[in-house]
Amino acid sequence: MTKMIIDGKPVAAQDGRTLDVLSPVDGAVFTTLPRAQAADVDRAVAAARGALNGAWGRMTALERGRLLIKLGESVLAHHEELSQIESRDTGKPLSTARADITVLARYFEFYGSGADKVHGQTIPFQQDYSVQVIREPLGVTAHIIPWNYPAQMFGRSVAPALAMGNAAVAKPAEDACLSIVRVAELALEVGFPAGALNVVTGLGEEAGAALSRHPGINFISFTGSNEVGVLIQQAAALNAVKCVLELGGKSAHIVFDDARTELAIPAIVKGIVHNAGQTCTAGSRLLVQKGIYPQFMEALAREFSKVRAGTPEMDLTCGPVVNRSQFERVNRYIAKGLAEGMKVVAEGSIADGVPENGFFVKPTLFSAARHDSDLFQQEIFGPVLVSMPFEDEAQAIQLANDTAYGLLGAVWTENGGRQQRVARAIQVGQVYINGFGAGGGIELPFGGVKRSGHGREKGFIALEEMSTTKTIIQYYGA
Ligand code: ADP
């Protein structure tokens, strides 16, 4: 049985309850996890507070940074082991899991080396006054992590928090938390003081809800569904704590008639089938200028039909989706699209020999979507791409913005003025011009607008999000 990490020790839930962990590849149980309740969360929050009041809180920024860098090195030293754990837990192809673990190490390296580089200010004020603005940690930070990229999301959330001197309690998703528990063990091995980084496993509505409502926390970082994001924001309001929310997207590619199709097509395919479409930043809507729509879709369909889903060991384009409910949800969207008269123009395939009970979904490309259909509006979180033609720049912008979400966008054109106009007009947190997806892109500020959430992660801005300022005003006159 896997244990969780509280106050520097591997522990079971206090009441001994467990959860089964199922393999997405064949649906079989392969280990169990502690099913933490409020009492376990209390222990973890108390341990984090203890660390802040103890050895962890006394460390200098340089010392914290060195520990984070050491953790990054340890992740690299255990790269293959962590990749195997990640791919077993999520079903993702081994090479995808390996890339994810490399990104995880980068988060610790990047924020480790940033720990002593966030400096304060002095402000000229009235005669005989000295004013300093110093940066302070927020305190105990809660991190509720999704299952799609467990290792990466854990690094993205906890590394900047730890770098700024906060203590962390992470609650990974019930569907995928094994790599996170292992990294918390490695953190202890490299010398993190007990309680600085705790991992509580369990169900969202139990452990996650208890953590997000806990009066002992000072900050919540959450990545996940819109529905749960609303609950998290309500919980944050109860204790008047800040939260950073990343709630997914319905990101659009806009392809103009002068686009370099040889660049665009592979990026569009990868942008929706990577990780079986279970990516917040998936490019799940495709808008193509009318004049090139038929030939573009034909070329795209040729590429799309080459996509294959298989087991992690087969290491194909994508694996299964993470669990039965996700499998049913994606298939429901596909069936709905068909029932509404949308046309499938290409399908990928599922490799021969995958287990019958695995959660494999056929990657599907739809054409002629209606802008008010669920396929065009809802985040499916599967390898399903919907497309539609547009007339001109104004209509492209209008369609791209015609969704509740606002996470990413991409514009494909050789016209420089148009690149800037469209990039500025689409309501999202990140825009690509002639490219898509940054494969981690940990240096680049990231986050959404509209229903995609608020607050920023990645880059230096995360160090600011995960700390606060104190202004010290001193009179030194005679
Ligand atoms: P998805 O719908 O994609 O599975 P969720 O938003 O349900 O994503 O899950 C993201 C994370 O939020 C997971 O760690 C999950 O356990 C947690 N979670 C789910 N429900 C709650 C809740 N009511 N309160 C706090 N955390 C929750």
- The percentage of the chain sitting over the pLDDT mark of 70, rounded to a whole number, equals 99
Assign 349 to helix, strand or coil. Answer: strand
Q: Tokens standing for 48?
A: 């984090």
Looking at domain 4-248+452-473, its CATH superfamily turns out to be Aldehyde Dehydrogenase; Chain A, domain 1 (3.40.605.10)
- Catalytic status, residue 457: no
Residue holding tokens 């969780």?
Answer: 4
Q: Give residue 421's pLDDT.
A: 98
Higher pLDDT, 24 or 440: 24
Regarding predicted confidence, which is higher, 46 or 438?
Answer: 46
Q: In this model, does residue 440 exceed pLDDT 70?
A: no
Distance (angstroms) between ligand 1 centre and the Cα of 336 equals 25
| The pLDDT of residue 391 | 98
**Beta-strand relationship, 140-144 and 167-171:** parallel
Q: What is the pLDDT of residue 109?
A: 98
In angstroms, what is the span from residue 358 Cα to ligand 1's centroid? 23
Q: Does the beta carbon of 231 lie inside 6 Å of ligand 1?
A: yes
Mean pLDDT of 404-410: 97
Residue 439, pLDDT score: 62
Pairing of strands 219-223, 140-144: parallel
Mean pLDDT of 369-392: 94
Q: Is the pLDDT of residue 438 over 80?
A: no
pLDDT value for 193: 98
Question: How far, rounded to the nearest angstrom, does the alpha carbon of residue 356 sit from its chain's CA centroid?
Answer: 29
Distance between CA atoms of 258 and 415, rounded to whole angstroms?
Answer: 8
Q: Average of pLDDT values for 236-261?
A: 97
Nearest to 173 by CA among 272, 89, 248, 98: 89
pLDDT tens profile 2-22: 999 999 999 999 999 999 999
- Residue with CA at minimum distance from ligand 1 atom 16: 204
Q: Residue with the nearest Cα to atom 2 of ligand 1?
A: 225
Q: Is the pLDDT of residue 326 over 70?
A: yes
Structure tokens of 254? 């806009």
Q: Out of 86, 109, 246, 379, which one is annotated catalytic?
A: 246
Per domain, the residue ranges of the chain are 4-248+452-473, 252-433
Q: What percentage of the chain carries pLDDT values higher than 90?
A: 97
pLDDT score for 112: 98
Nearest to 334 by CA among 272, 384, 282, 269: 384
**Mean pLDDT in residue range 412-416:** 98
Q: Which residue has the least CA distance to atom 13 on ligand 1? A: 173
Q: How far is CA 154 from CA 147, 201, 433, in A?
A: 10, 13, 28
How far apart are the CA of 225 and the centre of ligand 1, in A?
7
DSSP readout, 258-275? TS-HHHHHHHHHHHHHGG
User: Which pLDDT score is estimated for 67?
Assistant: 98
Q: For 143-161, what is each residue's pLDDT tens digit?
A: 999 999 999 999 999 999 9
Q: pLDDT at residue 466 above 70?
A: yes
Tens digit of pLDDT for each residue in 203-223?
Answer: 999 999 999 999 999 999 999
Nearest CA-CA partner of 421 in 393, 388, 456: 393
Q: Give CA 109 to chain center in angstroms.
A: 18
CATH 3.40.309.10 fits 252-433, yes or no: yes
Q: Check pLDDT > 80 for residue 123.
A: yes
Q: Which numbered atom of ligand 1 lies nearest the CA of 225?
A: 6
Nearest to 256 by CA among 433, 411, 441, 70: 411
Judged against a pLDDT cut of 80, whether residue 369 lies above it is answered with no
CA 34 distance to own-chain centroid: 23
In the block, which residue shows the tokens 């139990």?
206
One-letter amino acid at 41 equals V
Q: Is the CB of 382 under 6 A from ligand 1?
A: no
DSSP per residue, 174-209: TTB-HHHHHHHHHHHHHTPPTTSEEE--S-IIIIIH
